[in-house]
Structures are given as C-alpha cells and as structure tokens.
A and B are shown apart, each in its own frame.
Chain A
Amino acid sequence: MLMYTLKRLLQGVVTVWFIATATFFAMHAVPGNPLTNEKAVSPKIWAELQKRYGLDKPLLEQYGLYIKNMASGDFGVSYTQQNRQVNDIITEHFKVSATLGILAVVFAAFGGILWGALTAMYRNRAPDIVIVFLVILGISVPGFVFAAFGQLSLVKVNDWLGFTLFPVAGWGTVQHMIVPSMVLGLGTMAFLTRLMRSSMLEIVNSDFVRTARSKGLPMTRIFRKHELRNAILPVITVLGPSIAAITTGGFVVELVFAIPGLGRYFVQAVQQLDYTVIMGTTVFYGAFLVFMVIAVDLLYGMVDPRVRLE
C-alpha cells in the first residue's frame, strides 16, 4: 500500500514535470515573445525588458530557471498586470474556484447516487422514466445553456418572490454559491445517475441481495447495507475524471455568474496572452487534477477491499 502510494505520487510528479516542460517548450517554439505585443520601444528599453523577464538568457538556462522556480513554488510575475505575482493570483482566485468545484462535486455525487438508486428501485415505472428523461436532457444540453437558463430563472424567481432569495451574479455569501454550483454539477450529476442506475440494477439482481432478502432482513437495511454500498463503487471510480470535467466546465459558469474564480482569470489571461499566468495556472491545474485522480484511486482501494493496490 505504502509502496503503491509512493509509486503513484512519483508518477504524478513526473506527469506534472512533463506538463510543465511541454508547455514551456511549446510556448518558446512560437516565434517572437510576449513582449513583442508592446508598442515600439527603444533598443535599450527593449534590452532592459528582456533582462527583467529573463528572456535574454539561452533557452536551456531559462528552462532550468523555470523548473527550479516552479519546484520551489514560484510561478513568476504576470506580463500584463504590473508587479503581480502569479502565485498571488492563484492563491487569491483558486479559493473561489475550489469552493465552487467542491460544492458542485458534492451536489453531483449525492444527486447522482440518490437519483440513480431511485430509478433502479422504480425500474420502468413513472419515477424511472421521468428521471431517465431528465438525465438524457442533462447529458445533451451544453453547460453554458444551463448556466444561462439558471440565471434567467433566478431573475424570474426573485421577481416573483419580491425579494432576492439567491443573487443573480457575484460571489461572497452562501446564497451566491448555491445556484452556480448546482448548474456546474448538473451535467456530471446526469452522468453519475446513469452510471449508478446500471450499477444498482446489477446489484439488485445479485445473489447476496437475494440471500439477504430471503433471510428476512428489512428492506431499508438491505438498501443501505447491501445494495447502496456495493452500487456506489463504480461511481467513486469516475469521480476523479468528473472532478476534471467540473473544473474545466467551471470557466463558463464563472463567466456567466461573474464569479471571481481562477477559471475566469485563466480565460482572461488567454485573451490577453499573458504567458506566465497561462503557464502558471496550467501547471497548477494539471498538478491539481493529477493528484486528485491519485487520491480517488487510493480512496477506492480503501473503500473496496477486493481491490488490491500494488
């Protein structure tokens, strides 16, 4: 177990290093450098600028510095925002994104497990048909449409109530968080519901459930102890990739609901071609996702004793 954990962590570090290297060389393979966007400057100032950002050094030395700084957790200075550290940007805005993402994952996981179990219990009856229809809708509608309609319905609800139950945009209080995280989690919830349904249907017809039933155990106990626990396993497996899906989907929700998260910042940096911010956030996101997937895999080994981690 310990060996496995160490091995996976080492692999994770190598992957992050690969991402960092690939982004670095890809960035520098592009002709020109970020400063060419600036207006005409005298050669002296140009040289000073190059020096300030370390662009006058040979490529390999730049790479060495970049990796060294990154290993000590320093992502450099933003190109478009004077004297602003990329680290500051990440620490300031990632809190928001993480809160939103965690709420969305929790919402998606609980919703998916609940609805999936419900559909399996009411197989081919009204609740099943309605939920399966909603699930298909959830998988087929793009996230930004959900975001737009979510916001639109908020306007209507607030208008109808006569006071602001949930604010339409912005960030800060618990009320701000609820609707965006629900919108963000919706697609994943639909996917998890589908997964939970098929896994639950398999479990319901298995031998150990029949045995439990013939022993005369109460239905609620069978549901909780036998069915739910076993059916949940595949859902946990896809939770890692789901977190990835939710963090990338977060860009749109952050844009639509005007949430000051890292995703919105990243899109902004992309539009302004702010290289250090793009590279810093990319490597940070990459590392976050890689270690999230590792954490979920380790968790899976703990939850399911049949899985041997080696």
Chain B
Amino acid sequence: MTTNALSFEPVRVEREVETISRPSLSYWQDAWLRLKANTRAIVSLYLVIGLLLFTVFGPWLWQVDSSAQDLDQISAPPGAERAVTVVDEYRPWQGATATPVAGAGGELQAPASLSVAGDATTRAVRLQWSAAPDAGGYRIYRSIFDTAPDGALGLPLGDVLDPTTVSFEDRLDLQPLTYHYSVVTLDDRGREATGYTSVPVEVTRVITAAQAHAKGLIDSADVVRPGDVLKLQMHPLGTDYLGRDMLARLMHGARVSLFIGIVAPFAFVLVGIFYGSVAGFMGGRVDQLLMRFADFVVALPFLLFMILFRILFNVQPGDNSILPMMVAMVVLSWPAVARLVRGQILQIREEGYIGASRLLGAKTNYLVLRHMIPNTMGVILVTLTFAVPSAIFTEAFLSFIGMGVAPPTPSWGSMCNEGLKTMLTTPHELIFPAAFISITVLAFNLLGDGLRDALDARMRATE
C-alpha cells in the first residue's frame, strides 16, 4: 500500500447517514395505529360509542315516559296492529233469558249452542247460549289456546247460578286476540258436568271518542263517528306486560346498566391502582402484608356483602340498591387490579430510567405519578375494558334474582327478569333487553381484545 498526500486528506464527514424518514411515534400513537388496523376492535369501538349515544341522547329524541302505561297495548310485539275502531259510549246489557227445560234425567248435557251477541270488542264480549236440560247454572271459561286438543278450558270467568239466565258478559282485561270461550253446565248443587261447548271469538280493539280525546289520539276539534278507525300510539319495539314502551325503557335501563357497568369498574380500578402501586413501591414486609390482605378479600363472598351493604344503606325490600351494588363491587373487586399493578410496578421499579430519575433528585410521589403509573396505563386500560362486561353481568344477575334494581326503575337485567315470565307468549320482552346486554358485553370484550393486542406486547394473543 502506497502512501501519498491523498492519504492524509481528512475523511469527508458524511452528514445525514441515517435520517428518520417519518416522525417518531409515541406509545399511544403506535397503539392507535395498531387498533385501527383491527377491524373487529374498531367495529366494537363504534358499537360502544353508539350505545353511549343511545343512552345519553336517546331519551331526548324518543320522549316517551318510560313508566307510562298504555293499557290499550299490553305486551304488544313490535310492529303490532295499531288500528282501533271508534264506538259509542258503553250501554249496559240486559242479557238473555230462557225458560229452564226439564230433561229426561240421566247425565247433564252442555248447552247445545254458544254464540256471541253483538260485536266482540275489547270493551265487552257478550255470550249467549241455549238452555241445557236440568241445568242448575253455568260456568264460563276463557282460554287463549284452543280447548280442543287437551280439554284445558283456561281461566274460569264466572258462574251463572240462575238457570233462567243463559248469557254472560266478559269485561275482564280483554286484548285484541282470539279467545276460546267455553260453557260448562252445573247441576243444582254447583257441580260441573263433564261436557262443554266452546266457541272461538275474535276480539277487535275499540275506543270511545271521549277516550280517544283523553289519550290525545285526536284533537278536541276533530269529530269522529263510530266505525272510524284511528291509530294508537306507536311503540317501535313494542310494550311490556304493563303496557310500557320498550324503547323508552331500554333507553332508561341503559342509563342504569351502563352507569353501573362503567362507573363501578372505574372506581375499583382506581382503588386497585392506588393499593397496587403502594404495595409495589414499598416492597418488602409492607408489600407482603398488603398482598396477603388482598388475597383474603378475593375469597370474600360477593352476595353476602351485597346483602350487608343493602342493610347498611337501609335499603328496604322493593327499593333500588344501585349504591350498595356499586359499593359491594368496589369493595370486593379491587384486588385483581391491585395485583396486576403491583406486578407491573415491581418490574418498572428496576428499570434504568427510574434510577436515572432518582439520581436527578426525583421524589417518590413524582416517580410514582410521572413514571410508574403512566407506564402501567396500557395494562390498566385493558383490565378496565374487560371489567365493564363483568360489571354489567353482575348488575343483570343481581336484578335477576331481585336484589338489584327494583321496579319501576328499568334496567336491562330487571327487564330480562320480567320478560322471562312471559317468554312463551311474548318473547320480545325478553329478547330485546337480552340482546342489548349481549351486544354491549360483546362490544366491550372485542374492544378489550383489540386494546390488549395494541397496547401490550407481552399479553398479545396468538391469533
């Protein structure tokens, strides 16, 4: 190798060997990008936002009183017929009479014929039948099912204990359905004969002009004549067993369910962060003692403490116990979060930047608040998202067994509980609140999955 003057030229300093082509991303920007790439999580995020909007603004847009009863439409499914016919004022009915027939002895027979007198309306169904020989009276039954297959006659409406009367007027809680009326002959001691005569009756919904005015279906200036058809108030999702609007109840129920589902986890996560960071930072004996206590709290039975707080807050049976419910959740649910935060703090405590910060004279409070807690934020956020569904489940479960939200306050859980009783005849009363619970829980679960993948490299699921 030859050496010449060139060899002693200073090497030209190459500037900008490495350039950062894009601005560097902070932890949260990176997480947001990752989350955006996850379609399921983003859809769930929109769902959660939609549910919150539904809860907050819904009652403003749909201004129907959630406790007002619409007695014309009880347990109406969504999209039910809303037509109602105007009729004259109610006039009492004299009924029908017949001279008792003397029979040839032997077994009592059911009336030979049974028919409806006049129109069958939700105001009254008037039945009349032919006199049965030797009858001492009659008993009238009503069923919403066909009596033919198994001879189950349904609800006994009343007895007619005068053999000359062969009519009955039913005014008991009539709905626009097809009813099956049956008449059974009684002997002079009031014992039932074996046979029965049955007739299906289709009931039409009616209203008087005065009632229509009172309900605001028509203006006071409007004139309606009997036979006109009006439209009843609309219930987009139907009504429940007391005729209350399901949509309004779902919206108000969402306020209760989501309030508990979001506020309670927030509160116990805060407690958990505080407890866990104290334990993690102090370390040693204090840490041991604090965590042993947390282990005990985990083992405490939730339901028992729920009862105790109900008594402490002086909640009478039949009152709402939203506050005791939330207190019980906070008092018993923090240990899981505390344990998680403690683990994180123990790791972070040993990191170089903590030592550097301490060398620069940082105080303990500053270290914890500025360095440790922000660095555990990802894990905490994920825990919070997964805590929401379980809190919503807890509320629903407690309301379901009658220890949570009491009527008339709606919550999704209590609505499910009420809907369960009429599951066979009007399934929409169960399906809607159950669907809302499921969708909310699903959205928070998927969002939690997405957040976990985006925020925490260690917890990333192998999908």
Footprint of B on A, CB under 8 Å? 15-16, 18-19, 22-23, 26-27, 29-30, 136-137, 139-145, 148, 152, 155, 198, 201-202, 248, 251-252, 255-256, 266-267, 270-271, 273, 278-279, 282, 285-286, 289-290
Contact = CB atoms under 8 A, between A and B. Distances in A.
Contact of A145 (B402, B434, B442, B461): B434
Interface of B: 295-296, 299-305, 307-308, 311-312, 317, 389, 393, 396-397, 400-403, 413, 416-417, 420, 423-424, 430, 434, 437-439, 441-442, 445-446, 461-463
A26 B462 contact: no
A22 B305 CA distance: 10
Contacts of B304: 23, 26, 278-279, 282
Given A18-B299, A251-B401, A145 B424 contact: no
Contacts of B417: 144
Contacts of A22: 296, 300
A198 B463 contact: yes
Contacts of A140: 389, 438-439, 441-442, 445
Contacts of B400: 144, 252
Given A144-B420, A198-B461, A198-B462, A282 B301 contact: yes
A142 B305 CA distance: 22
Given A18-B299, A267-B401, A270-B303, A144 B308 contact: no
B307 A270 contact: yes
A141 B434 contact: yes
Given A30-B308, A142-B434, A267-B401, A148 B299 contact: no
A145 B397 contact: no
Given A142-B393, A256-B420, 7 more contacts: A23-B301, A140-B438, A141-B438, A142-B397, A152-B423, A152-B424, A267-B401
A18 B430 contact: no
Q: Which of B296, B301, B441, B445 has the most CB of A within 10 A?
A: B301
A18 B296 contact: yes
A251 B438 CA distance: 20
Nearest to A139: B445
Contacts of B461: 198
Contacts of A137: 438, 442
B50 to A, nearest CB: 16
B447 to A, nearest CB: 12
A255 B308 CA distance: 22
A145 B299 CA distance: 27
A19 B416 contact: no
B420 A26 contact: no
B420 A27 contact: no
B228 to A, nearest CB: 41
B401 A136 contact: no
A252 B401 contact: yes
A144 B416 contact: yes
Contacts of A143: 397
Nearest to B389: A140
Contacts of B312: 29-30
Given A140-B445, A142-B393, A26 B424 contact: no
Nearest to A15: B299
A155 B413 CA distance: 24
A134 to B, nearest CB: 13
Contacts of A271: 317, 402
12 contacts: A30-B312, A140-B442, A142-B393, A142-B396, A142-B397, A142-B413, A144-B416, A248-B302, A271-B402, A282-B301, A282-B303, A285-B301
Given A27-B308, A30-B312, A290 B463 contact: no
A294 to B, nearest CB: 12
A271 B437 CA distance: 25
Nearest to B295: A15
B445 A26 contact: no
Given A140-B442, A144-B400, A286 B301 contact: yes
A26 B300 CA distance: 12
B300 to A, nearest CB: 6
A283 B389 CA distance: 28
Contact of B430 (A29, A148, A255, A278): A148
Contacts of A16: 299
Contacts of B302: 248
A162 to B, nearest CB: 12
B204 to A, nearest CB: 31
Contacts of B438: 137, 140-142, 145
A278 B307 CA distance: 10
A141 B430 CA distance: 13
B462 A202 contact: yes
B301 A136 contact: no
A30 B430 CA distance: 37
Contacts of A285: 301
A131 to B, nearest CB: 14
A42 to B, nearest CB: 26
Nearest to A251: B401
B153 to A, nearest CB: 20
Contacts of A273: 307
Contact of B296 (A15, A148, A202, A266): A15
A136 B442 contact: yes
A285 B439 CA distance: 32
A26 B305 contact: yes
Contacts of A198: 461-463
Contact of A290 (B299, B389, B445, B446): B299
A140 B386 CA distance: 12
Q: Which of A137, A201, A282 has the most CB of B within 10 A?
A: A282
B301 A26 contact: no
Contact of B397 (A26, A152, A252, A256): A252
Contact of B462 (A23, A152, A201, A289): A201
Contacts of B393: 142
B258 to A, nearest CB: 15
Contacts of A148: 420, 423, 430
Nearest to B431: A145
Nearest to B293: A18
Q: Which of A137, A141, A143, A290 has the most CB of B within 10 A?
A: A141
Contact of A19 (B300, B303, B317, B437): B300
B416 A142 contact: yes
- Enumerate the 7 nearest inter-chain pairs by beta-carbon distance, A residue then B residue, closest first: A140-B442, A140-B441, A145-B434, A18-B296, A140-B438, A282-B301, A30-B311
A139 B300 CA distance: 24
A140 B393 CA distance: 9
Q: Which of B295, B397, B446 has the most CB of A within 10 A?
A: B397
Nearest to B437: A142
